Amino acid sequence: MNDSKGDIDNAVTVRNVYKNYGDVEALKDLSLDFPRGQLTSLLGPSGCGKTTLLKIIAGLLPATSGDIQVNNQPVTGPGPDRAFVFQDFALLPWANVMRNVAFGLELRGIDRSEREAIAETYIANVGLKGFENSFPHELSGGMRQRVGLARALSVDAEVLLMDEPFSAVDEQTRRKFQEDLLNLVKNENKTFIFVTHSIEEAVYVSDQVALLLARPSRVSEVIRPEGFRHKDANSIRRDPEYLDIVDRIWASLRTYVE
């Protein structure tokens, strides 16, 4: 289940990262590699620092110390190589779906006809064709999340940072999103960094799952579930290997909850 280190092509490397908010130690000596083209999930107790880590990788927040690299270049701020899908969707309430999806491209100075053409493609890809002129308040939670996803995809960033993107949707929508996500992993050669609090979801969709300790957080264990995403989502619920990994992670996380 372990890869030999050294010959892996990492899109993102995080080494010995510390992050303090005043007296609060959020991250303490956290190191983790994110192999290119793979999906890595971050699992850990609420408040352990998952969002903090994502924001640091995104360049939205400075680390107190440590080394963060994207494509072997130190992160000094946000860049076109990374896109963030926020937990609360972060849509512009006054702008319609088209403008929201094209917004990342607008920020990059791409002219209107070109950015709307690109946005149109991704709006269709996430299943929102026909809703271009709708406003966020007219959409369901699941649809709003798809707008956020289309926006992140349309800037064609190599690294997608997804902060509990499915937490606000119902179980059926979540299943559909998981399938969509897996199609993206298969069809787009991107590196996904995915925060979830569902162990089952992490094991199903991930190439690797990093378990984080309660604050101050670092990585306690990295697990590589093999091939569950190629199986039928319903039948894996009875797959002994799958259940075994889910149990193991549960036991491991529980150790640190008390």
Ligand X SMILES: Nc1ncnc2c1ncn2[C@@H]1O[C@H](COP(=O)(O)OP(=O)(O)O)[C@@H](O)[C@H]1O
Contacts with ligand X, residue ranges (CB under 6 A): 21, 24, 26, 46-52, 215
Phi, psi for residue 248 in degrees, rounded to 5: -60, -45
Q: What is the DSSP string of 17-80?
A: EEEEETTEEEEEEEEEEEETT-EEEEE--TTSSHHHHHHHHHTSS--SEEEEEETTEE--S--T
Q: What would you report as the CA-atom Rg of the chain, rounded to the nearest whole angstrom?
A: 18
Q: Minimal distance in Å, beta carbon 66 to ligand X?
A: 15
Position among 38, 40, 41, 51 found at the interface with Mg ion (CB under 5 A): 51
- Please report how close the Cβ of residue 61 comes to ligand X at its closest, in angstroms: 8
What is the widest separation between alpha-carbon atoms in the chain?
Answer: 55
Judged by beta carbon distances under 5 to 8 A according to partner kind, the member of Mg ion, ligand X, none in contact with residue 47 is: ligand X
Contacts of 130 (CB under 8 A, 6+ apart): none
Closer Cβ to ligand X, 30 or 147, answer by number: 30
Distance CA 133, CA 144 (A): 13
By a kind-dependent CB cut-off of 5 to 8 A, residue 36 interacts, out of ligand X, Mg ion, none, with: none
- For 132, phi then psi, to 5°, come to -55, -35
CB of 32 to Mg ion, least distance (A): 16
Measured distance CA(70)–CA(139) in Å, rounded = 35
End-to-end CA distance of the chain: 29
**Would you say 176 or 215 has its CB closer to ligand X?**
215
The tokens 């006809």 sit on which residue? 113
| Nearest CB to ligand X, comparing residues 47 and 227 | 47
Q: Is 206 an interacting residue with respect to Mg ion (CB under 5 A)? A: no
- Which residue number, 16 or 64, has a Cβ lying nearer to ligand X? 64
Please check whether residue 132 is in contact with residue 123, taking contact to mean a CB–CB distance below 8 angstroms. Answer: yes
CA–CA distance, 145 with 54 (Å, rounded to integer): 18
Question: Which of Mg ion, ligand X, none lies near 49, with the C-beta cut-off 5 to 8 A by kind?
Answer: ligand X
Please, what is the minimum distance in Å from the beta carbon of residue 123 to ligand X? 29
Closer by beta carbon to ligand X, 42 or else 185: 42
Min dist CB 86 to Mg ion, Å, is 10
d(CA 195, CA 32): 14
Residue nearer to Mg ion on the CB measure, 136 or 165: 165
Shorter beta-carbon distance to ligand X: residue 55 or 174: 55
* Smallest separation (angstroms) from ligand X to the CB of 63: 12
206 binds, among ligand X, Mg ion, none (CB under 5 to 8 A by kind): none
Least CB distance to Mg ion at residue 50 (A): 5
Residues interacting with Mg ion, by CB under 5 A? 50-51
